[in-house]
Amino acid sequence: QLVEVNGSPCLKLTEDEEKMTIPGTKAIYRLYDAAGHPFMDLMALEEEPSPSAGQELGIHVLGQLGETTKVIPATVEPLHRTYFRDGQV
């Protein structure tokens, strides 16, 4: 999806809250519980600080924009990796 134009973040406008996008470049993290099981994939803006293991996070669940939920991941794995940049591996 389109996230920015000429360095300026873009927002998709729609009446359906679940289809709205977060403007800007994203970072994706997989959060694991103490037993080592993944329980959530977290999408955040690239410029936001990365989540840390053992750190409480306030999250907004998609479709429940008014509510905040607190989670504490035991392990955090970044899912986005750059393999190609400017046509180079």
* Cα atoms found within 13 Å of the Cα of residue 22, Cβ hemisphere only: 16
Average pLDDT of the chain?
83
What are the E-state strand segments in the chain?
4-5, 8-9, 26-32, 38-45, 57-59, 69-71, 75-78
pLDDT, average across residues 36-40: 95
What per-residue confidence (pLDDT) applies to 2? 58
The pLDDT, as a whole number, for residue 1 is 56
| pLDDT tier at 20, thresholds 50, 70, 90 | low
Q: Which residues, other chains included, contact 59 with Cβ-Cβ below 8 Å and sequence gap of 6+?
A: 40, 42, 68, 69, 70, 71
